[in-house]
């Protein structure tokens, strides 16, 4: 039973973002299994087994088709798999068929893994807990202390192994310590290391700890490249030309093909080698094994999950993911995040209530070391070494997942290429018509069968130009080079054409729209539940608790004598003037190990400044939106807890009688002015609670009943280029939105300041509150925000009519997605500011825009934006990370001007691709028409005539036609992006008519002269070359090839004028000059080109004039009729070119016709549709 795309394929992609797959048909459930559910790697796995009868039939058909079916099977491995295998239940399968999110099929062979390791002499019964699933039949039981022989089956897909679970009768992906282990279990089960038996078993299952990118041999690459359908057609064409004695042209095409294959082969291998050398690094490590106190020296390729490794004090490059269990590390994670600021890593929590939390590397990054990052220094708080437990290795690590995203990128479903395939199919159909015409005509004229066969097959190579794919891609190559010269690097050139269609751009705020750095502005103190003075100098006695909080509540570390780390923490700490020290040797004075100490600046005539020890840090995360630190004053009996974070979050943990009544009003006053605001809180812990007791308390319990101290105000300025680029995008009718983790009011102010929200536009804060009970509906609040902007509206901004903009937070988005999913799309249509969003939500918002059929661009700094950058059609990172890690585009320009450059180059590349495609299509039609007319008179073009046309005219024009640079401004008009649009088809159809009519007219003009003598019979069963028909049509068609290139070389508004492309102008002028010389005075070239002598000078001049007339007619048709804006408007009015509107356009129209705020139907999984509650604060407008 084979799957087909139309009948039994169960995974048809759905535009619904909440339900990406249709349900699996019931008749296929027994053959299938869903893997990696709700992830980008989600696939459905179908069981197949080899069928000998089907295989024999397939190979018999291969023989009968002279091997063509083998080629088809090579091109479509999924077809070949279905031809030789039959569907079966998974337990019986010897191979699987996987279908991914994008309806692509991937066959994979099921293999067996066996070993007979003798565990009796290796201490197999170690203390490490077995890494098992919920059943004892999980094959990964062998990872632990199991002593039975290993016999499991698995398949490998995208560098990951999926093992068969006999008990559950299903496949499961192999995992490391990221399999629901609590922090306490990691300490209890893996703190003594592994034994040799366990290491060998895990090496067998996981493989070596090496991200080994496969580099294919030159022979294999040559074989694969030569079997590309394009080159197979080239081989067919060249073989035909050699048999037809077109040695010069065939030799040139063969040479060009060999050079092209060689360059592609070398480039492909070089890219793979470069990627392998970048990621497949090896180093020596020290590992504790066999419960020995002495570490073993081993290669990093031999470590496995569960190993305990030593982090040297001088640092090292991490070759695996690990969790820190003792000591602390300073790590540079720029290779993964793009942020070069050193980050402090602390040991995993081992005691207390929080130790029972599940360890998640992505949520507990402050304790996790990732492969590819550099440990700058390691510091131990005792005489023991700094150690970490390996959690993931190889492709299972975070670095491995990033490399897999490079090797298996998300496909871009570019309509241009689908249309191109369809158009080539039309040319192939035209070739069949010409084939039939040629056979009939030449047979009637008495041409020999062999000559008829060659001439008929020659029609195929004329109608379908072999150089079409290469010519179309040249424009993208030029665009990539221009981007590189401007400091923008792209690892996937096909994204350049996609960027030309962008109509919505999402921006991060901090580091993207605004400067990376923050400036300390002041602290608004709270006294007696009232906001008081704003302090800019923290050395006064009244600011003691504030200063203590700011000096100790951070994750800074000392590197080369300076405090470094997160930019916000650095600026906050520098404002206090305190000193940070980490080399604390005397831990006895604090009765415990301290991570660091802070001391205030010494003042004259005062006692020694107090010293505070940092005992434990509860790290900041985007999910919690807060950070807290346990500290103790030297000599004091009690502990203290300091906290900072989002003000809205901090005030929830503070005693109500310490939070000012006007908290929200003051907070809004700062955020509306664009300031970054951080809440500060402090708590003196009861002296009866010892350090050991505090360790056992959960973080939630410790952080209760804090005292609110005030608001830390930081200033974040716009980058100078931001406003101009936003205005340019607005003028070009490209929508802009902001997705940030910052405060909503701050984001709104920045949006107003940069022009994303115009001064005359209203902003409504959408607030969704969770239902109080399971059966209740959510509450929706529409809160208009004050507009304190006094900025004038520039003339360019009149392009966008004023409207109501929606701003909301990530919490509101989560509630809407859960309770009112149907409203999420409306929110995206009207939303401009999405604040307090997590990295996952950023990616979800981008995907939501894509589901509305927007072409989405994303610009961020690469830290928390990686998911959104990779999800967007064209993501561009401003970070210093490698382009392959952060996003498809990476800019060395640290501002958003790169977005404008990317869009302009994308539009230029898109227009160029269309121009070259139309030119190659017309070249085919021109030559096709010429040959068909000549066949009627038993004539044909000569070898050198073909050579001059195909090599000197077409190839030289195709090479330089695409060099024209992008226009310096983004036009409001959008480029055409469909080869099947009325504009494109009418242009091609019109020029085809003009081409056929003009060549027909030229022939009749030739026939009208008295000296003309027509051919009537073949010459020895062959066709004529040196005759009036061939010479005349060769002259005229040469001009057609040149002039039509000029017609299709579009300039503004997407590209510069044609005369700015000096290489193109040189080629055009040279070709026109050479062709004119051949027409007027061919001389000795007449013999080489097999030209018939025409002594009528007037006739020759008329041929030149008719070429010029052809250009004028085509130019007028192209510029003023076919593609003119007013004609497009006319066709649209009479519904000739009216295309189906995009989903977002339909929704915009529907929303404009509804009342606003809209009526929302809330749909919960537990309840039927209900009306959500509304509150609308008119008084706040």
Hey, how many other C-beta atoms are within 10 angstroms of the C-beta on 68?
12
Distance CA(619)–CA(346), nearest Å, equals 9
Backbone dihedral angles phi then psi of residue 941, each to the nearest 5 degrees: -75, 150
Give the angle subtended at the CA of 449 by the CAs of 448 and 455, to the nearest 5°. Answer: 90
Of 826, 101, 911, the C-alpha closest to 479 is: 911
Distance CA(507)–CA(899), nearest Å, equals 10
Residues 6+ apart with CB under 8 A from 1164: 777, 818, 819, 1170
SS (H, E, C) 660-714: CCCHHHHHHHHHCCCCEEEEEEEEECCCCCCHHHHHHCCHHHHCCCEEEEEEEEE
Residues 6+ apart with CB under 8 A from 258: none
Of 502, 546, 541, the C-alpha closest to 524 is: 546
Of the residues 51, 78, 321, 508, only one is catalytic, namely: 508
Token pair belonging to 954? 């077409």
**β-bridge partners, 617:** 629
Token pair belonging to 49? 């087994």
Helix (H, G, I), strand (E, B) or coil at 351: coil
CA 615 to chain CA mean position, Å = 41
Distance CA(664)–CA(531), nearest Å, equals 11
Of 589, 691, 572, the C-alpha closest to 631 is: 691
Distance CA(878)–CA(894), nearest Å, equals 6
Of 160, 55, 54, 48, the C-alpha closest to 95 is: 48
Token pair belonging to 298? 């081993």
Distance CA(345)–CA(377), nearest Å, equals 11
Instruction: Cite the beta strand spans of 240-317 per DSSP E.
Output: 284-288, 296-299, 308-311, 316-317
Cα separation values, 61 from 54, 55, 976, Å: 11, 10, 43
Distance CA(820)–CA(931), nearest Å, equals 65
Of 848, 817, 665, the C-alpha closest to 739 is: 848
Does the annotation mark 686 as catalytic? no
Q: What's the chain's length in residues?
A: 1181
C-alpha count within 13 angstroms, C-beta hemisphere, residue 682? 20
* Residues assigned a catalytic role: 508
């Amino acid at each position: 039973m084979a799957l087909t795309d139309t009948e039994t394929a169960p995974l048809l992609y759905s535009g619904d973002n909440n339900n990406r797959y249709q349900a699996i048909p019931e008749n296929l459930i027994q053959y299938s299994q869903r893997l990696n559910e709700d992830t980008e790697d989600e696939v459905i796995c179908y069981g197949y087994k080899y069928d000998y009868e089907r295989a024999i039939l397939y190979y018999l058909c291969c023989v009968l088709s002279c091997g063509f079916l083998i080629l088809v099977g090579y091109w479509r491995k999924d077809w070949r798999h279905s031809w030789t295998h039959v569907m079966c239940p998974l337990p019986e399968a010897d191979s699987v068929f996987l279908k991914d999110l994008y309806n692509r099929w991937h066959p994979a062979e099921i293999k067996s893994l066996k070993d007979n390791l003798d565990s009796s002499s290796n201490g197999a019964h170690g203390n490490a807990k077995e890494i098992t699933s919920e059943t004892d039949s999980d094959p990964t039981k062998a990872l632990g202390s199991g002593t039975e022989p290993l016999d499991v089956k698995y398949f490998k897909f995208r560098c990951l192994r999926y093992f068969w679970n006999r008990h559950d009768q299903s496949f499961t992906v192999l995992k490391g310590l990221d399999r629901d282990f609590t922090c306490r279990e990691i300490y209890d089960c893996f703190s003594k290391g592994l034994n040799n038996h366990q290491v060998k078993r895990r090496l067998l299952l996981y493989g070596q700890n090496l991200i080994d990118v496969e580099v294919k041999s030159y022979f294999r690459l040559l074989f694969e490249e030569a079997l590309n359908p394009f080159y197979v057609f080239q081989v067919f064409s060249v073989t035909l030309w050699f048999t037809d004695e077109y040695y010069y042209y065939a030799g040139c095409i063969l040479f060009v093909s060999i050079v092209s294959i060689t360059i592609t082969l070398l480039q492909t291998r070089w890219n793979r080698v470069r990627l392998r050398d970048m990621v497949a690094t090896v180093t020596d490590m020290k590992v504790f094994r066999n419960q020995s106190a002495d570490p073993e020296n081993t290669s990093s390729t031999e470590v496995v999950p569960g190993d305990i490794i030593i982090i040297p004090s001088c640092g090292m490059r991490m070759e695996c993911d690990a969790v820190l269990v003792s000591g602390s590390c300073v790590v540079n994670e720029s290779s993964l995040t793009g942020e070069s600021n050193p980050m402090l890593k602390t040991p995993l929590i081992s005691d207390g209530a929080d130790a029972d939390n599940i360890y998640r590397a992505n949520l507990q990054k402050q304790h996790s070391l990732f492969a590819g990052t550099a440990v700058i220094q390691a510091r131990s708080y005792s005489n023991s070494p700094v150690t970490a437990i390996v959690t993931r290795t190889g492709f299972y690590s975070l670095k491995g997942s990033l490399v897999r995203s490079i090797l298996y990128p998300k496909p871009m479903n570019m309509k241009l290429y689908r249309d191109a395939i369809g158009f080539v199919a039309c040319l192939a159909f035209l070739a069949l018509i010409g084939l039939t015409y040629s056979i009939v005509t030449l047979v009637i004229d008495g041409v020999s069968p062999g000559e008829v066969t060659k001439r008929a097959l020659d029609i195929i190579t004329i109608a379908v130009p072999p150089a079409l794919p290469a010519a179309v891609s040249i424009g993208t190559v030029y665009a990539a080079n221009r981007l590189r010269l401007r400091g923008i690097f792209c690892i996937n050139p096909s994204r350049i054409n996609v960027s030309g269609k962008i109509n919505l751009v999402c921006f991060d705020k901090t580091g993207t729209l605004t400067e990376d750095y923050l400036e300390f502005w002041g602290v608004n103190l709270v006294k007696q539940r009232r906001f008081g003075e704003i302090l800019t100098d923290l050395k006064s006695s009244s600011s003691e608790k504030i200063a203590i909080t700011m000096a100790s509540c951070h994750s800074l570390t000392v590197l080369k004598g300076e405090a470094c780390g997160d930019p916000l923490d650095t600026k906050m700490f520098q404002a206090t003037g305190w000193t940070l020290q980490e080399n604390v040797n005397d831990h006895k004075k604090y009765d415990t190990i301290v991570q660091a100490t802070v001391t205030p600046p010494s003042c004259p005539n005062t006692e020694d400044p107090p010293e505070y020890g940092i005992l434990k840090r509860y790290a900041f995360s985007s999910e919690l939106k807060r950070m807290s630190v346990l500290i103790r004053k030297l000599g004091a009996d009690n502990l203290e807890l300091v906290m900072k974070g989002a003000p809205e979050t901090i005030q929830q943990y503070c005693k109500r009688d310490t939070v000012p009544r006007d908290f929200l009003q003051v907070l809004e006053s700062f955020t509306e002015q664009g300031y970054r605001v951080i809440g500060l809180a402090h708590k003196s812990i009861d002296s009866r609670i010892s350090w050991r007791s505090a360790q056992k308390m959960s973080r939630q319990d410790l952080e209760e009943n804090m005292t609110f101290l005030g608001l830390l105000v930081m200033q974040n300025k716009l980058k100078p280029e931001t406003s101009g680029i936003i205005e340019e995008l607005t003028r070009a009718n490209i929508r802009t939105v902001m997705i940030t983790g910052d405060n909503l009011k701050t984001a709104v102010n920045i949006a107003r300041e940069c022009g994303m929200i115009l001064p005359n536009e209203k902003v409504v804060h959408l607030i969704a509150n969770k239902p109080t009970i399971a059966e209740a509906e959510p509450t929706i609040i529409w809160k208009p925000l004050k507009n304190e902007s006094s900025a004038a509206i520039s003339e360019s901004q009149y392009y966008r009519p004023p409207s109501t903009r929606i701003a909301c937070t990530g919490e509101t988005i989560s509630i809407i997605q859960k309770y009112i999913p149907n409203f999420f799309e409306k929110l995206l249509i009207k939303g401009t500011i999405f604040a307090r969003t997590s990295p996952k939500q950023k990616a979800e918002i981008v995907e939501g825009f894509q589901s509305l059929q927007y072409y989405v661009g994303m610009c961020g700094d690469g830290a928390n934006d990686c998911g959104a950058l990779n999800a967007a059609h064209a993501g561009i990172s401003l970070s210093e990370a490698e382009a392959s890690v952060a996003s498809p585009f990476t800019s060395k320009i640290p501002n958003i001007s790169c977005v404008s450059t990317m869009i302009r180059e994308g539009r230029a590349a898109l227009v160029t691709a269309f121009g070259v495609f139309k030119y190659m299509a017309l070249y085919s039609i021109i030559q096709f028409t010429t040959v068909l007319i000549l066949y009627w008179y038993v004539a044909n073009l000569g070898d050198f005539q073909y050579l001059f046309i195909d090599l000197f005219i077409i190839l030289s024009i195709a090479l330089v036609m695409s060099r024209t640079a992008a226009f310096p401004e983004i036009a409001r008009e959008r480029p055409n992006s469909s080869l099947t649009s009325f504009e494109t088809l009418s242009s091609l159809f019109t020029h085809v008519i003009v081409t056929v009519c003009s060549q027909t007219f030229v022939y009749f003009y030739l026939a009208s002269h008295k000296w003309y003598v027509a051919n009537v019979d073949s010459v020895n069963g062959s066709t004529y070359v040196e005759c009036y028909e061939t010479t005349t049509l060769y002259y005229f068609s040469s001009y057609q090839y040149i002039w039509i290139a000029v017609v299709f070389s579009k300039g503004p508004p997407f590209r510069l004028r044609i005369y700015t492309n000096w290489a193109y102008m040189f080629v055009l002028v040279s070709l026109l000059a050479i062709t004119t010389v051949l027409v007027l005075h061919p001389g000795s070239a007449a013999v080489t080109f097999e030209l018939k002598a025409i002594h009528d000078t007037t006739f020759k001049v008329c041929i030149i004039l008719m070429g010029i007339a052809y250009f004028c007619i085509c130019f007028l048709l192209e510029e003023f009729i076919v593609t003119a804006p007013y004609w497009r408007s006319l066709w649209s009015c009479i519904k000739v070119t009216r295309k189906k509107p995009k989903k977002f356009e339909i929704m915009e129209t529907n929303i404009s016709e509804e009342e606003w705020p809209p009526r929302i139907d809330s749909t919960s999984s537990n309840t039927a549709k209900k009306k959500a509650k509304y509150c609308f604060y008119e008084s706040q407008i």
